[in-house]
Structure 1
Amino acid sequence: MSVAVTKSSPVVVVGASQTPTGGIIGLSTFDMFSASAPTTLILVFEQPIDDPVGTIKKALSQALVHYHPMAGRLAGADELEPTHIVCTGEGVSFVGASASCALDDAVPLHLVDLSVRYPAKYCRLDDPLLLMQVTRFTCGGFVVGVTWNHIMADGAGMAQFLQALGELARGMPVPSVAPVRSEADSSLPRLPQPMVAEVRSYMRVRKEELLPLLDLAIPTSLVHCIKAKCGAGNCTMYDAIIAVLWRCRTRAVIPDGDENPNALMLLVIPRNVRELVGAKKGYYGNCVIFQLALATRDTVATCDIKDLVKLIRIAKEKMPGILGNTRDGRDEQHAPPERYNTLTISSLMNLGHEAVDFGSGTPSRIMWKNEQPSGMACVVCPPCKGKDTINVMSLCVRLEHSDAFLREVAALTLELSHDC
């Protein structure tokens, strides 16, 4: 059914008590990957709490005392080249909202207006670093939509912040994990400048057409089948899902009458490397590197699925070694593939979002939602409660390829089900 969402006027939430101002936090080379790109997460809570809008707004004010850089603003040359965060204490934007129906009636939920958007494609220097919306539904359930400038935090960092927000909403006096954001205190290494420059160049290619947001449900039975075909210890859940998405998208976008089976398909795999680089506990800035898997269109579309998983795992195993290299692992002899032949697949699983609790339990569903994609991307979300599927939010195919993409996922599920 159609859902009407009534929003209050945005308000600025600042720290509940005096917080440090005037400090400057330099951006790390990890932060520089993000290019002031906005990103949005939607957390769905089926069980009610008392006054979710007021409770979470109060907790947000308390959280900004501990996470005071989030109440600051970026500074530097311009939106594309910010160099530091100034702890101005200006605050973040907050909107309370109410929906006209129960959560179960809001189908598809990912199309409902559950978050606040930045006014421009990039986050501007004077924009808040965090926007939040809390939406109440008639059933008592509620949804928290958080949109932030990715330069401030990556997915793991935002999960830490949201867990702290939940702890404060439940009455804890301070977060259980002390936050760390200063580059000087984070113990992070500096990434090779050529690597940073190459990724930022990739991020700046912004003449993208609008892509449909697809909500894919991949059966866990398909994942278990692929893991069984690969053998014990040779395939994780994430590996299997990557193989499904890369295979099915490649098949879906092959042009009619295509005569170039050797066209290159590039897979970009982000990875949280906090433990690998020795980041201090509580660090919530960016700490992600990227590794590439490169194969021909024919290989991705037709090779045995266990061989595709092997190719993906080889690429992932290269990650620890690239921190000292000047390139990101791409074979020097190849020119960059076409933009539409590049796919990024990231994961929100096991980062901590599924543990966020504002007082009535953890979320029943977590979704990624970006209005302005910077490239073809799929985000693997934590499994929904009570569902035997793994949800993937996808902005990775043009409208004319979306039905074919969904058909390929269904066909692969049927094909492999006969083998398991």
Structure 2
Amino acid sequence: MVDGEPEVDCTGEGIWFVEANANCSLEEINYLERPLMVPKDQLLPQAPPEARLQDEILMVQVTEFTCGGFTVGICSSHLVFDGLGFAQFYKAVGDMARNLPEPIVKPVWFRENIPAPPKVPHAGPLPSFTVFNFATLVVDISLDSISRTKDLYMAETGKRSSTFEVVTAMILKCRARALDLMPEAEVRLGFAASTRHLLHGLLPSVEGYYGNCLYPIAVAKSTEEINKAPLVSVISLIKGAKEALSTKFVDWMYGRNESYYNMPLDYGTMVVSDWSKVGLNEIDFGWGPPKYVFPLNDDLDIIASAIYLKPPLPKNGIRLMLRCVKEEHSAVFCDELLKFA
């Protein structure tokens, strides 16, 4: 750390890499579908004894199964790269593994070219966090259901909608109904949007930038408002928040808007993350793209979360990895969400 800022010490030591073997086939453990039939710690690399976990930028474990298939378990530091940057890094690893002369997308850093906004001093005690008993749920939303909702939105508004907007609106409505909050209680949605497209002229290649390049977006409405609003209106709410991104990000980057994200971490708040389009499903080490990419975040209990994935091949649509409602609210939430499936 230099002046409170993290730095990467390029020592040439490489990353922590583990090779492992399993005594079963992937079929015997249902291809790692939930609920997992093996402890997740057996699929992920454990930090070396002499290391501090928070200092490890990247750790990898390759586990080979008796069927010849294998998993790649990865732990990475969000201080260094976001999801798009991480996927780009691993695509470059795949390019080299396939003996290409150089990565298809050349990496770009040039972080110093991006204006650094003024630091906001932290005052007062550290925040306290409530630990929730979130249920782990996996729900597939079909491509047909998403397409029907997009058609409905187009018919009523004359505008296009994205898969992210449609699926996020579905979850927000179902969750508001399931939480059993007072009508005036807020339900909040947070997600991080890539801002690479706003850095043309500052970076030699925005496609190659692999660092963190995100801006948080927040939506907040009362439970009653979300419950009464038609799905099309909730989609418009999310779309409007996304459309304000460029103005808010540029204002923040140049110090014109210091307070950009402040949502209480209570039960009313949920964060969503879209893994389906960051490129993780395109990584190829020489055996073709992975059949399935998914997180192992079952111990995240301080903030409700929803992660969007591509379902295992040959399925299509969106797979939702959900930890966003308590066990006692999971039945109602699932019943509501399956109406959209």
Counterpart of 1:221? 144
TM-score in terms of structure 2 length: 0.83
Q: Aligned-pair distance for 1:312? A: 0.7
Are 2:187 and 2:220, in contact at CA under 8 Å, matched by a contact in 1? Answer: yes
Structure 1, residues 307-365: CA drift from partner, whole Å, max 9, x if none? 110111111111101121415667xxxx9556111111121232221211111211121
Are 1:91 and 1:128, in contact at CA under 8 Å, matched by a contact in 2? Answer: no
Q: Aligned-pair distance for 1:395? A: 2.2
Q: In 2, Cα distance between the equivalents of 1:303 and 1:137?
A: 49
Counterpart of 1:172? 100
2:201 aligned with 1:270:
no
- Greater per-residue strand proportion: 1
Q: Aligned-pair distance for 1:172? A: 2.1
Label 1:339 to 1:117 Cα distance change in 2 as closer, same or farther (>3 A): farther
Counterpart of 2:286? 359
2:245 aligned with 1:319:
yes
The one-letter code matched in structure 2 to 1:351 is V
Structure 1, residues 151-198: CA drift from partner, whole Å, max 9, x if none? 0110001101110111111122432233233522xx32324545x969
Label 1:212 to 1:130 Cα distance change in 2 as closer, same or farther (>3 A): farther
Label 1:214 to 1:285 Cα distance change in 2 as closer, same or farther (>3 A): same
Work out the percentage of aligned pairs sharing the same amino acid.
29
Q: In 2, Cα distance between the equivalents of 1:183 and 1:320?
A: 19
Counterpart of 1:154? 82
Unpaired runs of 5+ residues, structure 1, are 1-74, 414-420
2:48 aligned with 1:109:
no
Structure 1, residues 182-222: CA drift from partner, whole Å, max 9, x if none? 522xx32324545x969xx99x6544345333222112222
Structure 1, residues 61-98: CA drift from partner, whole Å, max 9, x if none? xxxxxxxxxxxxxx357xxx553222233432112222
Q: In 2, Cα distance between the equivalents of 1:192 and 1:213?
A: 39
Q: Aligned-pair distance for 1:387? A: 0.8
332, 340, 350: which one aligns with 2:267: 340
Q: Aligned-pair distance for 1:385? A: 2.0
Q: In 2, Cα distance between the equivalents of 1:239 and 1:212?
A: 24
Q: Aligned-pair distance for 1:117? A: 5.0
The one-letter code matched in structure 2 to 1:265 is V
Counterpart of 2:315? 387
Q: Aligned-pair distance for 1:408? A: 1.7
Are 2:190 and 2:270, in contact at CA under 8 Å, matched by a contact in 1? Answer: yes
Label 1:229 to 1:135 Cα distance change in 2 as closer, same or farther (>3 A): same
The one-letter code matched in structure 1 to 2:198 is L
TM-score in terms of structure 1 length: 0.68
Query: What does 1:271-286 align with in structure 2 at a 5 Å threshold?
Result: 271-278=193-200, 279-281=203-205, 282-286=208-212
Q: Aligned-pair distance for 1:299? A: 1.7
Label 1:141 to 1:229 Cα distance change in 2 as closer, same or farther (>3 A): same
Q: Aligned-pair distance for 1:402? A: 2.5
Are 2:310 and 2:316, in contact at CA under 8 Å, matched by a contact in 1? Answer: no
Comparing 133-142 with 371-380, greater Cα deviation is found at 371-380
Label 1:371 to 1:411 Cα distance change in 2 as closer, same or farther (>3 A): closer
Counterpart of 1:71? none
Label 1:76 to 1:254 Cα distance change in 2 as closer, same or farther (>3 A): farther
The one-letter code matched in structure 1 to 2:6 is T
Query: What does 1:86-235 align with in structure 2 at a 5 Å threshold?
Result: 86-107=9-30, 108-110=32-34, 111=36, 112=38, 113=40, 114-116=43-45, 124-125=53-54, 127-181=55-109, 183-184=111-112, 187-191=113-117, 193-194=119-120, 205-209=128-132, 211-231=134-154, 233-235=159-161
The one-letter code matched in structure 2 to 1:218 is I
Are 1:270 and 1:346, in contact at CA under 8 Å, matched by a contact in 2? Answer: yes
- SS at the partner of 2:190? strand
Are 1:239 and 1:309, in contact at CA under 8 Å, matched by a contact in 2? Answer: yes
Label 1:305 to 1:359 Cα distance change in 2 as closer, same or farther (>3 A): same
Q: Aligned-pair distance for 1:248? A: 1.4
Label 1:213 to 1:76 Cα distance change in 2 as closer, same or farther (>3 A): farther
Are 1:192 and 1:326, in contact at CA under 8 Å, matched by a contact in 2? Answer: no
Label 1:237 to 1:197 Cα distance change in 2 as closer, same or farther (>3 A): farther
Q: In 2, Cα distance between the equivalents of 1:233 and 1:240?
A: 13
- SS at the partner of 1:365? coil
- SS at the partner of 1:366? coil
RMSD of aligned alpha carbons: 2.9
Are 1:269 and 1:290, in contact at CA under 8 Å, matched by a contact in 2? Answer: yes
The one-letter code matched in structure 1 to 2:170 is V
- SS at the partner of 2:6? strand
Are 1:364 and 1:385, in contact at CA under 8 Å, matched by a contact in 2? Answer: yes
Q: In 1, Cα distance between the equivalents of 2:108 and 2:135?
A: 37
